[in-house]
Amino acid sequence: MLDRIKASMSSLAPAEQRVAQLVLSDPRAFANLPVSELSYRAHVSKPTVVRFCRSMGYDGLSDFKLKLAGSVSEGVPFIHRSVDADDKTSDVLVKVIDNTVAAFLKYRNDASTTALERAAEAIAGTYQTGRRIEFFGVGNSGIVAQDAQHKFFRLGITSIAYSDGHMQVMSASLLGPGDCVVIISNSGRTRDLMDAADIARKNGATTIVITASGSPLASAGHIHLAADHPEGYDRYSPMVSRLLHLMIIDVVATCVALRIGSPLQPLLKEMKNNLRNKRYA
């Protein structure tokens, strides 16, 4: 959570930056002080303190304090243990699994439920009006985009995934008001995805971005689902980032399914029954 605040610092208004600096200087005190004292120490108004919390993707000051307290006190610290050349198989097993579990637990403590709710509502609303839902990603993120298309397809939601930059730009050019595009990127700096996000947004489509805080792509979408982790985006074979993106897609897909509600049950039951015929007894 503190890493996310640091990464987002430059995109905040000057008054909100003072609140952010107050958080970073003493997060434990911030989580316990009343808003009057916080505004006094940061030399800002009380509404500015609340506005900062919302800028970071939280419901308000209470929600922000709750997550902050969990992050600095009860949260699981992320100890990024990279695999070394001389590691035994048992070492690799422990390090890879520990890195992944720690990243998941960190996301659980830091995630903005407000952003997740907005994303689920946008996709569910697009589905209900029969408009287009698309997923964009390149490289490893392209595979995540395909997985997302598969998950939503199983919910009866017609969607498509593109991992080719030219196809993404062409498709984004055809999107319009009421359509929804989910753009996935580990670095948040891929030129093709940035171009597609800008085009889709200019055309009036709702853009949801799953990427690192503070990246160019993070500010290019209407809804930002922060995927922050200590794994460098220039690693030859990123693992934690890909699994984190898949998990975020799972959370959003589950929230969308709950919003669709009872009409899904008979469809899923029929699908399951039909698939049984494809298996050996």
Statement: residue 125 has pLDDT above 90: yes
How many folded domains does the chain comprise? 3
Q: Distances in Å between the alpha carbon of 137 and those of 47, 119, 159, 167?
A: 37, 17, 14, 11
What per-residue confidence (pLDDT) applies to 235?
53
22 vs 92: CA distance, rounded Å: 39
The encoded tokens of residue 77 equal: 């610290």
Asked if residue 159 belongs to a domain, the reply is yes
CATH code, domain carrying 47: 1.10.10.10
Place of tokens 């993707």: 57
pLDDT digit string (tens) for 168-185? Answer: 999 999 999 999 999 999
Q: Which of 249, 254, 243 is nearest to 103 (CA)?
A: 243
DSSP secondary structure letter of residue 250: H
Asked if residue 279 belongs to a domain, the reply is no
Of 45-59, 161-175, 210-224, 257-271, where does mean pLDDT reach its minimum?
Answer: 257-271
Q: What is the DSSP string of 81-146?
A: -PPPTT--HHHHHHHHHHHHHHHHHHHHHH--HHHHHHHHHHHHHHHHTT--EEEE--THHHHHHH
Asked if residue 276 belongs to a domain, the reply is no
Neighbours of 219 (CB within 10 A): 15
CATH code, domain carrying 203: 3.40.50.10490
Q: What is the DSSP string of 30-91?
A: HHHS-HHHHHHHHTS-HHHHHHHHHHTT-SSHHHHHHHHHIIIIISPP----PPPTT--HHH
Place of tokens 């609303």: 125
| Highest-pLDDT range among 56-60, 110-114, 149-153 | 149-153
Are 88 and 179 found together in one domain? no
Q: What is the extent of the structural domain holding 32?
A: 2-74
Asked if residue 179 belongs to a domain, the reply is yes
Are 173 and 257 found together in one domain? yes
Are 197 and 67 found together in one domain? no
Are 102 and 142 found together in one domain? no
Asked if residue 142 belongs to a domain, the reply is yes
- Cα 254 vs. chain centroid, distance in angstroms? 14
Are 27 and 139 found together in one domain? no
Place of tokens 């199983």: 154
pLDDT digit string (tens) for 72-105? Answer: 654 444 445 567 778 888 888 888 888 888 888 8
The residue type at 120: A
Asked if residue 117 belongs to a domain, the reply is yes
Neighbours of 221 (CB within 10 A): 21
Asked if residue 178 belongs to a domain, the reply is yes
206 vs 73: CA distance, rounded Å: 36
Asked if residue 26 belongs to a domain, the reply is yes
Higher pLDDT, 199 or 8: 199
Q: Which of 132, 99, 110, 148 is nearest to 7 (CA)?
A: 110
What are phi and psi for residue 249, nearest 5 degrees?
Answer: -60, -40
24 vs 58: CA distance, rounded Å: 17
Decide which of 88, 110, 132 is a domain's last residue: 110
Are 119 and 103 found together in one domain? no
Are 137 and 160 found together in one domain? yes
pLDDT digit string (tens) for 218-274? Answer: 999 999 999 987 665 555 456 788 899 999 999 999 999 999 887 777 777 787 777
Helix/strand/coil for 177? coil
Higher pLDDT, 200 or 104: 200
233 vs 96: CA distance, rounded Å: 17
228 vs 61: CA distance, rounded Å: 21
